Amino acid sequence: MQLKIGARIMCAQTLTLGLGGALFGPLIMGAEQLGALLVFALMTLVTAFTLNPLLLPWICLRDLRQIADALEGLKRGNYAAPLPTAEQPHDPDDENELNRLKREILWMRRAIEQRERDIGSQAERIRALNAELRVEAVTDKLTGLYNARFFWERIADCFEQHHRTAEPFTFAILDIDHFKRINDTYGHLGGDRVLAQLAGILRADTRDSDVLARIGGEEFALILHRISPEDARARLARLRERLHRDPIRLDGDTRLRVTVSIGYTVVGECQPQTQFAPPRNPQEIVKRADDALYWIKANGRNGCIAWSELDPHYRRHRLALLHCDTRRPPCVSPPTGQDPRAPSEQPDEQRSTTSNPCPSKATTNASASTSTTSSAVSSG
């Protein structure tokens, strides 16, 4: 049976009176009755003041210190601080008040610890979901590459970094030739397989510092960092040749050989200012690579050309479309007998309608072959 605090105090007082009588009783035996009582009361009071500090830990101080230590540990997140408790009696009324308080503190500590574990696990799940959402927000589901949203963020960052550090970079757009023909021949599922496998080839041939994204149906964007214009040209040419050389497996024994057209521009390339001014924003960078790609698509496909290689009049005409917001006109083949690498000698007012400005350097190759087990399709 547990003694309550009131019972402990009564026991302490009884013990004090008993000790006072035992100690001072013989001293007052010969004194008068009134004086003896006064002396006995005084001696008993002295005994109480002397013994109460010794009995106080037994009454409540020890339990209070244990409770204080447990609460201090709880405040600091320490759920292992010792807090001894006596067994709960069958009759709750017989339980000591401090023991009941300690049991309530233990229950509260276990509940808080469990809730913190639950909150921690939920926070981990939320962080994992947020990480997945961040990846999904910038990833193209079909190819696993970055999507157009991430690409525009990165091209803007590269443009800003170029202005701060003057570090050049190359931006290229790759477009699968005759992709509509692939969809019409093999269906959209076949077209999806072509996109997914071509993305795998591109990913295997890019560095960790490069940015590869799918920005349209069959269009891919590639940002090359810390590379010279000559190395960028050679690398893009090798990439185009590899995509043309390695057939894509659709299903079973069906193989498909595709080609790509590549237009690119080098930001920070050393060129005379009389030829062209540097791009003023990321949209102009993309427009320049798109203009180069447009020329390749209109002049045989399966090629790679830089925007700086295009005829200056063609560049100015195409750049004007970015600011006037009009649709680009069709690219007409140059007249028979005219050197495709030289600008037209016609007057400026006739140039835009009767001639096609062409690059000074461009390599275009068209190839198409089909068989029972393999097909070669010039991509467009």
| 239 falls within a domain | yes
Residues 108 and 168 in one domain: no
Residue 236 belongs to domain with CATH number: 3.30.70.270
Residues 72 and 176 in one domain: no
Structural domain that includes position 89? 5-112
Angle, nearest 10°, between helix axes 5-24 and 33-56? 130
Residues 152 and 268 in one domain: yes
Residues 150 and 297 in one domain: yes
Alpha-helix runs per DSSP H in the chain: 5-24, 33-56, 62-75, 97-137, 148-165, 179-204, 229-245, 282-298, 312-324, 348-354
Q: Is the pLDDT of residue 180 over 90?
A: yes
Residues 106 and 148 in one domain: no
Residues 158 and 302 in one domain: yes
d(CA 220, CA 226): 20
| 42 falls within a domain | yes
| 318 falls within a domain | no
Q: Which of 104, 153, 167, 218 is catalytic?
A: 218
| 108 falls within a domain | yes
Last residue of a domain, one of 90, 112, 134: 112
| 99 falls within a domain | yes
Q: Is the pLDDT of residue 333 over 60?
A: no
Residues 90 and 167 in one domain: no
Residues 173 and 61 in one domain: no
pLDDT computed for residue 210 by the predictor:
92
Residues 24 and 151 in one domain: no
More confident: 135 or 8: 135
Q: What is the DSSP track for 260-279?
A: EEEEEEEET----TTT-PPP
| 125 falls within a domain | no
218 labelled catalytic:
yes
Last residue of a domain, one of 112, 128, 156: 112
Band of pLDDT at residue 335, cut at 50, 70 and 90: very low
Residues 236 and 370 in one domain: yes
d(CA 9, CA 251): 91
pLDDT computed for residue 356 by the predictor:
40
Kind and range of the H or E run holding 369 = strand 369-370
pLDDT computed for residue 49 by the predictor:
63
| 365 falls within a domain | yes
Domain count, the chain: 2
- Range from 24-28, 142-146, 227-231, 297-301 carrying the lowest mean pLDDT: 24-28
Residues 88 and 147 in one domain: no
d(CA 77, CA 117): 12
Residues 199 and 280 in one domain: yes
